Amino acid sequence: MTSISTSNVQTPPQPSAQVLLRSTSSWDGTPYERYPKGPPELTLLQVNIPADTELGWHLHPIPSAAYILSGEVWVETREGGHNTHLKQGDTIAALVNIQHRAKTGAVPVDLLVFYAGTEGVPLSVSDL
């Protein structure tokens, strides 16, 4: 009787997951307080910011998080002097109700931004 060897049998690839960001506060250390009231609305945006661009001061009234696909971006707060530098592969727990702006360098920035809000509440408020 011939025996069959199973040592060469390959197991199929298995799904995996890696936590990229989990936070109870924004990148400057400000704790998230609560979600807006009302039915949840999730939004996922792919954003491109051209090279050598400075966004105007703005704020986000809802929690959000971003993943940098490519490029580099500098984020600063209007008050308090907080700033951070992000590059490809970085994540950020975004500020809520804190005025800030972003600046790019010599290359454009592509990022994915996930917003956890409520129907009818804007993702961003500018002209501050």
Identify the band that residue 6 occupies on the pLDDT scale cut at 50, 70 and 90.
low
Identify the band that residue 8 occupies on the pLDDT scale cut at 50, 70 and 90.
confident
**pLDDT at residue 71 above 80?**
yes
In words, the CATH class of domain 56-126 is mainly beta
Tokens of 105: 């360098």
Tokens of 26: 């924004």
27 vs 68: CA distance, rounded Å: 14
**Tell me, what's the pLDDT at 35?**
82
**Tell me, what's the pLDDT at 10?**
87
In the chain, what are the domain boundaries? 56-126
**pLDDT at residue 128 above 80?**
no
Identify the band that residue 9 occupies on the pLDDT scale cut at 50, 70 and 90.
confident
**Tell me, what's the pLDDT at 85?**
97
DSSP conformation letters of 10-67: PPPP----------SB-TTSPBP--PPSSSEEEEEEEEEE-TT-BPPPEE-SS-EEEE
**pLDDT at residue 58 above 90?**
yes
Cα dist from 78 to 7, 26, 54, 61, whole Å: 62, 15, 13, 16
Residue whose pair of structure tokens reads 């002097």 in the numeric block = 81
Report how far Cα 115 is from the mean position of its chain's Cα atoms: 8
Question: If residue 93 lies in a helix (H) or strand (E), which one and from where to where?
Answer: strand 91-93
